[in-house]
Amino acid sequence: MGSDNKLVQFKECRILRDHNIINEDLWVRNGKIVNPEKIFFDEKITADTVIHCKNNIIAPGFIDLQINGGYGYDFSFEDKTEEAISVVGKKLLSHGVTSYCPTVVTSSVEVYHKILSKFKRKEGGLHGATVLGTHVEGPFINPNKKGAHRASFIRSYEQVNDISVIEETYGSLENVQIITLAPEFPNSGSVIKYLTNRNIIVSLGHSTSHLSEAEEAVRHGASLITHLFNAMLPFHHRDPGLVGLLASHNIPRSIYYGIISDHVHTDPAALRIAYRVNPRGLVLVTDAISALGLYEGEHKIGPLNMEIRDQKAYIQGTDTIAGSMASMIECIQFFMSATGSPPEYALEAASLHPAEVLGIQKQKGTLNFDADADFVILNDTFDIQSTWIAGERVFSI
C-alpha cells in the first residue's frame, strides 16, 4: 500500500474532521486524502482495497514539537546521532506520532556544529516518523531558569551584538525549525526578527521575562511558549510574566504554547487553567527524555546516571526529576482526564495545533481533502491500534 495510485477506502470508522468526530469513510490515494465525490461522480470507480475499521476512531497523526530522545538515546549527545534518530523515530510510531522535531538542549558550540547538520528533514515511513526540523532549546536562555540545562554552555545576548554570532553558535541553521530563547536580554528583538525572517519559529522559555518584555518579543515575531509553567517565573497578579501572554490584549496575534501533560511537570489544576484561558493556543508536547520507553531500574545514558522508579525518571541517588518519560498518547489520555476536554479537542491539541505552529496545517494535522494521509486509528479507550504515514501502515498492534 502507499503511493502506487491504488485507491484505499477505510470503512466503518469515525473520523476527526473540522473539530468533530463524524461517521464517514476515509479515502486515500498516492499518500493523500481524497474527496470521494470526485471518485463517485467523475471517475466512477470503486476502491482497490477496502479496510474495515470496526467503528474505531481515525485521527490525524500526532506531531511532537519537543522531544529530547527516548529508549536510551539523547538527541543532544554527539555520539550515535543518526542511530538515535533511527531508533527513536521508529519507536514513536507506536505512540501515534507521525512527525516530530528532535530537540537539542543547551550545548557547546562544538556539539551544535557537529550534530545539527545530521538532523535533516526527512519524510516518514516504515523507517520512522517524519523529521520536521530540529527544535534547539538554548543556549540563549536565562541561567536563573536553566532547569536541567548546563550552566557552562549558556550564552546571553550581551554576547550577540553581531547577528552573525547566532550562526556562529549553531553552525548552519538549515535544519533548525524552532529555537527556544529568553526574551529579557538586550538585543533580543533583533535576534527574534532575524530568526523569523529565516522562517524559524521563535519560542519563549527558560526565562524570567516580565509580561511587557514577552509582549515585545511577540511583536517582533515570537509565536510560541516552551513548556508553559516550567522554567519561567510563576504567575503573579501584578506581573504574570510569560504566562500572561495567554490572556494579553497587547500582542498582534494569539500565542501558542507547549504544555507537558504527564502528571509530573504540570498539575491538573494548571492544565485546566491553561485550557480554559486559551484553548486555541494549547499544544501538547511530551518533552520526553532518554528515559522514555525504558524499564524500571538504573541506567547510564552518556554521562548521565539515571534511575527509573514508579514510572518517573530521577537523577540517580536523588529525588530530582530528570525529565518527562510520557508518550504522546499518554499525554492525551491524561489531559482528557485532568481537564474534561472532549476527545476531539485533545487529539487536535496533539495534531492540528502543532501543525498550525509550523504553518503546515494544510498538509499535516488534519484529515481534510488533499492533506497527507498521516493518521492514527484508536479504539474507544484511546489506545493506538495502528499508525499510518502517507497512506501506508507503519505500526499495528
By annotation, the residues acting in catalysis are 287
Is residue 329 within 8 A of residue 286, CB to CB? The reply is no
E strand or H helix at 297, and its extent?
strand 297-301
Question: Coil, strand, or helix at residue 325?
Answer: coil
Work out the end-to-end distance of the chain between its first and last CA atoms, rounded to an integer number of angstroms. Answer: 18
Is residue 390 within 8 A of residue 372, CB to CB? The reply is yes
Determine whether the annotation assigns residue 253 to a binding site.
no
Determine whether the annotation assigns residue 323 to a binding site.
yes
Cα angle, residue 52 at apex, residues 49 and 55 outer, rounded to 5°: 150
Q: Is 264 left (phi over 0), alpha (psi -120 to 50) or beta?
A: alpha
Distance of CA 357 to the CA centre of its chain: 10
Rounded-to-integer distance, Cα 26 and Cα 384, Å? 18
Burial class for 340, CB neighbours closer than 10 Å (0-12, 13-18, 19+): exposed
Rounded-to-integer distance, Cα 89 and Cα 133, Å? 13
- Cell numbers of 93, please? 510510531
Determine whether the annotation assigns residue 43 to a binding site.
no
Cα angle, residue 227 at apex, residues 353 and 79 outer, rounded to 5°: 100
Determine whether the annotation assigns residue 19 to a binding site.
no
Give me the residue label for grid cell 497527507: 372
Rounded-to-integer distance, Cα 371 and Cα 367, Å? 6
Determine whether the annotation assigns residue 265 to a binding site.
yes
Determine whether the annotation assigns residue 227 to a binding site.
yes
Rounded-to-integer distance, Cα 40 and Cα 46, Å? 8
Is residue 103 within 8 A of residue 137, CB to CB? The reply is yes
Determine whether the annotation assigns residue 230 to a binding site.
yes
Rounded-to-integer distance, Cα 14 and Cα 389, Å? 18
Determine whether the annotation assigns residue 206 to a binding site.
yes
Determine whether the annotation assigns residue 137 to a binding site.
yes
Cα angle, residue 260 at apex, residues 242 and 309 outer, rounded to 5°: 130
Is residue 393 within 8 A of residue 387, CB to CB? The reply is yes
Give me the residue label for grid cell 501515534: 96
Is residue 365 within 8 A of residue 359, CB to CB? The reply is no
How many helical (H) and strand (E) elements, i.e. helices and strands, does the chain have?
10, 25
Residue closest to 218 by CA, chosen among 281, 153, 277? 281
Residues making up the binding site: 137, 148, 206, 227, 230-231, 238, 265, 321-323
Annotated binding site for substrate: 148, 230-231, 238, 265, 321-323
